[in-house]
Amino acid sequence: MSAGNLATAGLTKAFGGVRAVDDATVEFHDGKINAVIGPNGSGKTTFFNCVTGMIRPDSGTVTYGGRDVTGRAPHRIAAAGIGRSFQLCRIFPRMTVRENVLAAVRPRGMAGLLRSAHDAGDVERARGWLRRVGIDHLEDVEARNLSYGQQKLLELAGVLMAEPETIMLDEPAGGVNPALIDRIAALVRELNAEGRTFIVVEHNMELVMSLSDHVVVFDRGRPIAEGPPDTVRADPAVLEAYLGV
């Protein structure tokens, strides 16, 4: 399972006068757990939005598996094999846990035409992913009744329904209690061991350092450092970006 590297060249997106992403050239490591870190407002989420088609960049390119996917619609980026979660968890609060996961895929065949029901295979796969993330016992519960951490696991199950080769997570541990952070970290490791590439924006440094193989540091829209976690942590430019020293 290796669609090939996700990379950007000269990616730029400005909002008014603010260059949220500024000439970002980044190559992620295929088959690895990549982390993207940087101070608040350094452009990490905007970078994710440009890569996944939520926002069209002003200039620059996004390539995936050697193909130019710049500016493609989100569903086409997803079809190319890239899944993502959102910093502010996106779920349907009044739908059940099972319905949420099923909503991540369009029903196939006749059921798809009627837009009414998913086939038994999809329902089984949804159950399988819910089991995998550890919330299958909640499948009939309305999503709004889940804890925030459980909602994040639900969102991840939905992402996995599309069988992405590359998974982009925007602050998966933000606002999540420590026990569930451990579960999310273990899941990321397992899914990576099975061949999925991860790109994870995360503020929890302990988690970044223990989880990732490769770290890219953003500051004011630009990648300013990259490398293995230990190297990046000791980089003076990184300390400066974080501490302003």
Ligand X SMILES: Nc1ncnc2c1ncn2[C@@H]1O[C@H](COP(=O)(O)OP(=O)(O)O)[C@@H](O)[C@H]1O
Q: 100-118 burial string, b = 16+ CB within 10 Å, else e? A: bbbebbebeeeeeeeeeeb
CB of 201 to ligand X, least distance (A): 7
- The three-state secondary structure class of 27 is strand
For residues 222 and 128, give the distance between their C-alpha atoms in angstroms, rounded to a whole number: 39
Task: Choose from Mg ion, ligand X, none: what does 15 bind? Cβ within 5-8 Å by kind.
Answer: ligand X
CB of 46 to Mg ion, least distance (A): 8
Instruction: Identify the residue whose tokens are 């350094």.
Output: 42
Interaction with Mg ion in 108-137: which residues (CB under 5 A)? none
Decide if residue 49 touches Mg ion (CB under 5 A): no
Task: Choose from Mg ion, ligand X, none: what does 52 bind? Cβ within 5-8 Å by kind.
Answer: none
The count of residues interacting with ligand X (CB under 6 A) is 11
Stretch that binds ligand X, among 36-44, 109-117, 173-181, 227-235 (CB under 6 A): 36-44
Please identify, using beta-carbon distances, which residue of 84 and 118 lies nearer to Mg ion. Answer: 84
Decide if residue 52 touches Mg ion (CB under 5 A): no
Task: Choose from Mg ion, ligand X, none: what does 38 bind? Cβ within 5-8 Å by kind.
Answer: ligand X
Task: Choose from Mg ion, ligand X, none: what does 161 bind? Cβ within 5-8 Å by kind.
Answer: none
Task: Count CA within 13 A, CB hemisphere, residue 48.
Answer: 24
- The three-state secondary structure class of 201 is strand
Interaction with ligand X in 66-105: which residues (CB under 6 A)? none
Interaction with Mg ion in 60-89: which residues (CB under 5 A)? 87
The amino acid at residue 214 is H
Residue 24: strand pairing partners = 11
Decide if residue 116 touches ligand X (CB under 6 A): no
Please identify, using beta-carbon distances, which residue of 48 and 129 lies nearer to ligand X. Answer: 48
Q: What tokens appear for 200 in the block?
A: 């994870």
Query: Could you tell me whether strands 59-64 and 67-68 are parallel, antiparallel, or unpaired per DSSP bridges?
Result: antiparallel
Q: Which residues bind ligand X (CB under 6 A)?
A: 15, 18, 20, 38, 40-46
